[in-house]
Structure 1
Amino acid sequence: MKYDSILETVGNTPIVKLSSIAPAHVSLYAKVEAFNPMGSVKDRLALAVIEDAERRGALKPGQTVIEATSGNTGIGLAMVCARKGYPLVIVMAENFSIERRRLMRFLGAKVVLTPAADKGSGMLAKAIELAETHGWFLTRQFENEANADVHSRTTAQEILRDFEGERLDYWVSSYGTGGTVKGVARVLKEKRPETKIVVTEPDNSQVLGTGLPDRFRPHPVQGTSPDFIPKLTADAKSAGYIDQVLPVNGGDALRRARELAVREGIFVGISAGAAVAAALKIAETAPRGSTILAMLPDTGERYLSTPLFDDVAVDMTAEEEAISKSSPSNRFDIRPAPAPAAATAPAAAVDAEAAAFVDKLIREEPALLFALEWCEFCWATRKLFKAHAVPYRSIDLDSVAMQENDWGGRVRRAVGARVGGPTIPQVFIGGELIGGNAEMFEAARNGELERLVRAAGVTFDAEAKVDYGSLLPKWLKQKSAA
């Protein structure tokens, strides 16, 4: 199927039967919102609030859009604003997952962080303040009726279509803004009044169930259950759409999200785990033959830096090492014997032109990097220069510009002859060899890099707060820390 825009792919997400984790006496289904283009249910509201504002004339061409979000709404808005040409600023509390920040910035948005101690209400207050200060358009996702309306028009209609002529006894969802709950529940109450609406929240932070915002406590179910009751959620509760608010333990939410991956092959986030945990609680007492539908709001890729992945190993486990050792080749514990000296090919000669080129660069360039374009250790070295605002020149030996007549290879051999080995990258500061990636980072840590850079007349930002480990390849950093 062809589409004129990525925005046309929002919605029409599949409903999947959960056969492996559900008890035999009920039918348990999940609506997998990760099939939206940006991987979450919030794509629906992002598109809806922007198009509603355009129709009303509230959003002018080229005007900056701003919103406070834990991430998924921001990611959806970043997609919509990128396609429609609006600048976007997102305000997000610092304790939400790093993946979300990076996804939004990758899509062109600016991300302003607020202190974790200020919670969701703090990031919302900051967004309102910035909107008023700069005349930006605030989408107001927590109270915007377009948020609920899109779920009445799309999500609810998809559910009615997919369960036409069949039982649907329970619909289970977490809540964030309340748009999904209000929009779907009001349609189900009209069209399928037999369906019970169950909304879940963390058991240690029962704000909706008690109606008391001061019951808020930090919890792991990111994107849901803020420290206030959003207007759309309050609307759904006061209208009588919600039959039950069911508390779920955070550990159970994490466990069920992992079970969905391992037993059903469905890769989703913590809020999806919470909804399934609630659905399974309902199943314990539900009459035989009941049908339960749980909303799975987003993909698990939003949670790589959260407790959801705490027990997922980076290095091989003992069991995996045993598998590796069950056959003889390509093992870390057995190194192949070095080739006999006679079998080693003679080193290629260094030509005078390449040697002269290298000597000239070392003399003339205050900060010089001999590198490969896509080498991870070369990236790390470039990031270190950038972190301390050091201007440098990089000679990328494998670039297209260096390929003619094997010029890059000839220069690399000349560099190798100069430093006594073939390792890349190699760094020279003020004509003095620092060495490769390891030597570069050690020089940064012990102050030698700053001394050499300043002596060479190059700027160096000594005030920069740099986590050197974060600049290294992720696999190397994590392996070193293990």
Structure 2
Amino acid sequence: MARYDDILATIGDTPLVRLDRLAPSGVHLYAKVEAFNPMGSVKDRMALAVIEAAERSGALRPGQTVVEATSGNTGIGLAMVCARKGYPLVVVMAENFSVERRRLLRFLGARVVLTPASEKGTGMLAKAIELAETHGWFLCRQFENAANAEVHEQTTAREILRDLAGEPLQAWVTGFGTGGTLKGVATALRRESPGTRVVVAEPDNAPLLGSGIPQPATSAAGVYSSHPSFRPHLMQGWSPDFVSPLVQAAVAEGLVDEVVPVSGAEAMRLTRQLACREGILAGTSGGATLAAALAVARRAPAGSHIVCMLPDTGERYLSTPLFADIPETMTEEELALSRSTPGFRFDAPADVPAPAPAPAAAATDVEAERFVAETVAREPVVMFALEWCEFCWSVRRLLAALGIPYHSVDLDSVPFQENDLGSRIRPVLAARCGARTIPQVFVGGELVGGCTEVFDAYRDGSLQTRLAAAGVPFEAGVALDPQSLLPGWLQPRMRA
């Protein structure tokens, strides 16, 4: 084993691993396994590069606090770098990203300020900008920082070409978040391996690049606007709700040859396949990138060499006893930081909201109304849902625990984006249910309601009565507190 002066010297030089069991016969499919970085993700490279570039330029002063908005991996990489170099770090993260990430950040000494999930990635960044401007902190600006792309041009791309030992690379496949990996590696490949196709994967229900719609302009304050094609999706760290300047530059420079849409279900399936068939523990974004790489591999000529990026480790998605004493919610110090600027605060009182006003009458949509009526009449148990929604997943967990067969109409899925049918169904449901919220569950043609109403109906036994009357089988002896099925970040608020 080599000997290093500090942990930062171990960043990079990650292995290129052949996926022999998952690849089509005759195609050489390799994964660049970035979990071998010391903090388990590709973002370690960028974290070190951004901090050292700021040190060289004088933008980061000794002892100055560093702040960044991140879904987790960038923050964890920054926490390692800042811990070693002696900079305080504040990470701004939406409340719906995995609890494991925020606990690991705190374990590494960072402070974590949460923002409401409804404000998405743009809200995270806006809060980070507020904090930086108010307190004089150094903001990394990973989505536009040139050092983010340069480190991948100088290291990641060169490692891939070196490890192929002169074999031609037909395709390189990646997802995108900040765009640093995409722009940096693609720039080097265009120069050193011009025959390589650069393939970009993105969520099928959030086609920011595939839609062809330009990214809305950035505000004067440097805050990005949400892209109209964005929908929440299952690939954490991928595709924020805007197309970053680094991604825009990669597209404008002609570095992207193809965009491949990937479903969340396929991403999760292939993440599991990576583990159980190849022995590689990767995150959901790695499974999604592999899905796109397999689509390319299936139509590639025999003997082709294809490389896909696996950005992080699957352990980033687990809860373990190691972090049992690390808090999940903001500490008093973190709440004070949140209150130090006015916007995007997460510590608003958890009051019970007033009942929503009755939905306004909408113009008749015959197709949408017919679809709803026919589906409710045909299916014994039907749930009108969203693929990404955690309340929908909570209801799915209850139905699965009770062994209840059901039909899910996922209004944000790709099939329902045709002719905007999913969006057109929602006002029809609102008029029928008296509520705009999703999910809405029907049993035997009768409305049960949304997540809370379904849980209440299970507690008081009326759900079981309706199921029996409709002839729907279910497990009667299950002892279950349905509130335990809610997302962890919501449960403290529900108990308040």
Q: TM bucket by the smaller chain?
A: 0.5 to 0.7
Aligned counterpart, 2:453: none
Match of 2:201 in 1: 200
Partners in 1 of 2:3 and 2:297 — Cα distance? 40
Q: Distance in 2 between matches of 1:177 and 1:45?
A: 10
SS in 2 for 1:160: helix
Query: What does the per-residue CA deviation read over 1:42-94, in whole Å, with 9 as the maximum and x for residues that have no partner?
Result: 00000000000000000000000000000000000000000000000000011
Partner of 2:252: 238
Corresponding position: 1:292 with 2:306 = yes
Q: Which residue of 2 aligns with 1:341?
A: none
The amino acid of 2:134's aligned partner reads T
Residue matched to 1:149: 150
Distance 2:200 2:297 in 1: 15
Between the aligned partners of 2:228 and 2:122, the Cα distance in structure 1 is 12
Considering Cα pairs closer than 8 Å and 6+ residues apart, tell me whether 1 or 2 has the greater RCO: 2
State the one-letter code of the partner of 1:10.
I
Residue equivalent to 1:87: 88
Aligned pair 1:279/2:293, yes or no? yes
Q: Secondary structure at 1:165's aligned position in 2?
A: coil
The amino acid that maps onto 1:7 is: L
Deviation at 1:245, TM superposition (A): 1.0
Paired position in structure 1 for 2:480: none
Q: Which whole-Å deviations, capped at 9, do the CAs of 1:234-279 have from their partners, x for residues lacking one?
A: 1001000010111011100000000000000000000000010001
Distance in 2 between residues matched to 1:9 and 1:208, nearest whole Å: 34
Tell me the secondary structure at the aligned position of residue 151 of structure 2: helix
User: Hey, what does 2:284 align to over in structure 1?
Assistant: 270
Deviation track 1:161-185 (CA, whole Å, cap 9, x = no partner) reads 1123202100000101000000000
Match of 1:162 in 2: 163
User: Any idea what the Cα deviations from partners look like across 1:132-183, whole Å, max 9, x if unmatched?
Assistant: 0100000000000000000011101101111232021000001010000000
Q: For the residues of structure 2 that align with 1:244 and 1:234, how far apart are their CA atoms? A: 15
Give me the whole-angstrom Cα distance separating, in 1, the residues matched to 2:191 and 2:61: 36
Structure 1 letter corresponding to 2:250: A
Aligned to 2:233: 219
Inter-partner Cα distance in structure 2 for 1:41 and 1:156: 13
Q: Is 2:263 aligned against 1:249?
A: yes
One-letter amino acid matched to 2:238: T
Which residue identity is paired with 2:11? V
Alignment length (residue pairs): 316
1:101 lines up with 2:102 in the alignment = yes
Query: How far apart, in 1, do the equivalents of 2:235 and 2:24 lie?
Result: 24
- Residue 173 of structure 1 aligns with which residue? 174
The aligned runs of 1:347-366 (5 Å cut-off) are none
- State the shift of 1:289 in Å: 1.4
Q: Quick one: distance in 1 between partners of 2:26 and 2:297?
A: 8
Q: Which segment drifts farther, 207-216 or 248-257?
A: 207-216
CA distance in 2, matches of 1:267, 1:154: 23
**CA deviations over 1:355-394 (Å, ceiling 9, x no partner):** xxxxxxxxxxxxxxxxxxx9x9xx99xx9xxx9xxxxxxx
Letter in 1 for 2:244: P
Partner of 1:17: 18
- Note the aligned Cα RMSD (angstroms): 2.2
Whichever residue aligns with residue 250 of structure 1, its letter is: G
Amino acid at match of 2:271: A
Structure 1 gap ranges (5+): 306-313, 315-373, 388-468, 475-482
| Counterpart residue identity of residue 301, structure 1 | E
1:16-58 CA deviation, whole Å, 9 max, x = no partner?
A: 0001111102111000000000000000000000000000000
Report SS of the residue matched to 1:247: strand
Cα distance, 1:211 vs. partner?
4.0
- Provide the C-alpha distance between the structure 1 equivalents of 2:205 and 2:273, rounded to a whole number of angstroms: 22
**Residue 77 of structure 2 is aligned to residue 76 of structure 1:** yes
Q: Give the Cα separation in 2 of the matches to 1:137 and 1:39.
A: 24
SS at match of 2:80: helix
SS in 2 for 1:105: helix
Equivalent residue runs for 1:296-311 within 5 Å? 296-304=310-318
Matched, 1:54 2:55: yes
Aligned-partner Cα distance in 1 for 2:46–2:297: 30
Per the alignment, residue 323 of structure 1 pairs with none
1:220 counterpart letter in structure 2: L
Q: How far apart, CA to CA, are the structure 1 residues paired with 2:239 and 2:33? A: 20
Following superposition, which runs of at least 4 residues in structure 1 exceed 3 angstroms of deviation?
Answer: none
Deviation digits for residues 379-422 of structure 1 (CA, Å, limit 9, x no counterpart): 99xx9xxx9xxxxxxxxxxxxxxxxxxxxxxxxxxxxxxxxxxx
**What pairs with 1:31-46 in structure 2 (closer than 5 Å)?**
31-46=32-47
- Please state how far the C-alpha of 1:287 moved relative to its aligned partner: 1.3
Identity %: 66
Paired AA for residue 20 in structure 2: S
Q: Which residue of 2 aligns with 1:319?
A: none
Three-state SS of the structure 1 residue aligned to 2:68 is strand
Structure 1 residue identity aligned to 2:21: S
What residue number does 2:188 align with?
187
Q: In structure 1, what is the Cα distance between the partners aligned to 2:63 and 2:119?
A: 31
**TM-score computed with the length of structure 1 as normaliser:** 0.63
Match of 1:342 in 2: none
Counterpart secondary structure, 2:63: coil
Please give the secondary structure, in 2, of the residue aligned with 1:292: strand
Structure 2 distance, partners of 1:189, 1:14, is: 22
Q: State yes or no: 1:30 paired with 2:44.
A: no
In the TM superposition, 1:109-128 aligns within 5 A as 109-128=110-129
Q: Tell me, what secondary structure is at the counterpart of 2:228?
A: helix
Q: Which amino acid aligns with 2:204?
A: D
Q: Distance in 2 between matches of 1:134 and 1:5?
A: 30
Name the structure 2 match of 1:406: none
Aligned to 1:440: none
Q: Residues 297 and 27 of structure 1: is their aligned pair in 2 closer, same or farther, counting only changes over 3 Å?
A: same
